[in-house]
Structure 1
Amino acid sequence: MKVLLHPTYFPSIAAFSAIVQHDVIWEAHDNFQKQTYRNRCYICTDQGKHMLNIPIKHVGGNEGRQKYSEVEMENESKWKKIHWRTLETAYRTSPFFEFYEDDLKPLFEGPETSLYQFNLQAMQVLGECLGIQIPRDETESYEPVREDMLDGRFLVDAKKQIHTDFDPYSQVFEERHGYLPDLSVLDLLFNEGTNSLDYLRRQPLSFLNV
């Protein structure tokens, strides 16, 4: 069955498991909301769980809400350079960082300004790293309720806790901070490498049926 998802910044393991296990339709006509995974993800550094947040340009005056597809990233803040340096520092000693860095680094060097398109592009690169084709199908209009597919749009909410029963895997700083579940799929990729796809395929997705 198809699943409806938001394109997010290096998705969580839960969201990427859904991408791997289902045909995906991307929500392309929603409004941008703060405190969501549209412009943030979580990794693990030597200090513990750490948020990477993409700064965006906010509209003002009478324009009101922005469409997600129209949101622009605030590249003047040099966030791409900061995020890449943070990933290097956090995962340089992980088993597979060097294996994937040449694929991922160009994402943090390009001139892209659209948050929506950048997230889609990043997922295409993740798909290439995993050896799978990432879907490109998008919605044609916004519908608050979808009964013709699984609605996974709630996964975009960074404040919403979902229950997962995922297998643990080895993490770089596990001895210091304990196992941290459902981080960005980057954490899985850098720690598990070529085993990542099999891992994502076998995780239970009961949270999609809530």
Structure 2
Amino acid sequence: MGARYTVLAAHQPAYLPWCGFFSRLLEMEAYVALDHVQFSERGRQHRNQVRGPASGLPVRLTVPVRHSFGQSLTEVRTADQAWPRRHWRTLTQAYGRAPYWTLYADRLRAVYERPWTHLVDLNLSLTRLLLHALDLPARVVRSSELAPRSSGTGMLVDLCRLRGADTLLVGTGALGYLDGALLREHRIQVQVATYTHPPYGADLRGWAPNLSVLDLLMHEGPRARGVLAAGARTRVWEPSVEAVTL
């Protein structure tokens, strides 16, 4: 059956995820990519931000996609093959002079030189590259291969069962929809992960919060993992207490 893990970290695969996403995986052995859930247009599933000009705003990178309403992430296809050149040009302009560009550029370029037909395959390829660059041990497990039942909190409960987990690690955004009674019924504890950006890099011109973790890597290199750890916090969620304030 393979190894089982006490804590389940599950999240929709994003394009070039931000630091907070990776800060949740610092001590995780596996990350469950929720690729069977419905695609959300104009979200981080196919767009993210990188550093812009020193005096300007962050630059948004968006992967153009073709999709139908209700499609799962596994079904969403990229819309053309011109976007990789555009994105690579933007990344080169943003980080070509960054201290650690040469350390990661070849591996990153190899991703952008491949032809991609499905968004989720692109996202997970980049996520694996970034996990390795950050020296994080988490391996990627696709939820579509686990085939959980139900949706919402019920789906997360089922994933915990399938993975042998008794603890669910979530971000603060999940607290608005989690069914605390259902989680208590199945004796699943919830840990809430938060991330606060500590200052990093010698040059803060053009820096902004919530940029892709690429920004951290390009400016801190092998020290990036330590920066993630410095900004990461977790706490236990008590739904009977916190539900009043949500």
The bucket for the TM-score relative to the shorter chain is: 0.7 to 0.9
**Alpha-carbon contact 2:23-2:195 (below 8 Å) kept:** no
**Alpha-carbon contact 1:164-1:207 (below 8 Å) kept:** no
**Does 2:224 match 1:196?**
yes
Return the structure number with greater strand share: 2
Q: 1:34 to 1:100 in 2, by over 3 A?
A: same
Please state how far the C-alpha of 1:133 moved relative to its aligned partner: 3.5
Q: Secondary structure at the match of 2:43?
A: coil
* Residue number in structure 1 paired with 2:79: 74
**Alpha-carbon contact 1:95-1:190 (below 8 Å) kept:** yes
Residues 23-42 of structure 1 show CA distances to partners (whole Å, capped at 9, x for unaligned) of 42221210101121100111
- With the length of structure 1 as denominator, give the TM-score of the two structures: 0.83
After superposition, the CA RMSD in angstroms is 2.5
* Residue number in structure 2 paired with 1:55: 64
- With the length of structure 2 as denominator, give the TM-score of the two structures: 0.71
In the aligned structure 2, how far is the partner of 1:83 from the partner of 1:208?
A: 39
In the aligned structure 1, how far is the partner of 2:27 from the partner of 2:231?
A: 9
Structure 2 stretches of 5 or more lacking a match? Answer: 1-6, 161-167, 175-192
**Does 2:199 match 1:168?**
yes
Structure 1 stretches of 5 or more lacking a match? Answer: 156-161
Q: Secondary structure at the match of 2:141?
A: coil
Matched letter for residue 23 of structure 2: S
Q: Secondary structure at the match of 2:50?
A: strand
In the aligned structure 2, how far is the partner of 1:56 from the partner of 1:38?
A: 11
Q: Secondary structure at the match of 1:2?
A: strand
Matched letter for residue 111 of structure 2: L
**Does 2:128 match 1:124?**
yes
Q: Secondary structure at the match of 2:131?
A: helix
Residues 34-59 of structure 1 show CA distances to partners (whole Å, capped at 9, x for unaligned) of 12110011111213211100000133
Q: Secondary structure at the match of 1:4?
A: strand
Equivalent position to 1:85, from 79, 83, 89: 89
Equivalent position to 1:42, from 9, 29, 49: 49
Q: Alignment length, in residue pairs?
A: 196
Equivalent position to 2:152, from 140, 144, 151: 144
Equivalent position to 2:112, from 87, 108, 114: 108
Q: 1:163 to 1:180 in 2, by over 3 A?
A: farther
Structure showing greater Rg: 2
Q: Secondary structure at the match of 1:75?
A: coil
**Does 2:9 match 1:3?**
yes
Range with bigger deviation, 98-107 or 131-140: 131-140
Matched letter for residue 140 of structure 2: R
In the aligned structure 2, how far is the partner of 1:152 from the partner of 1:165?
A: 12
Residues 112-162 of structure 1 show CA distances to partners (whole Å, capped at 9, x for unaligned) of 21111111111111123233334222322353003542234948xxxxxx9
Q: 1:185 to 1:208 in 2, by over 3 A?
A: farther
Matched letter for residue 122 of structure 2: F
Equivalent position to 1:181, from 209, 213, 217: 209
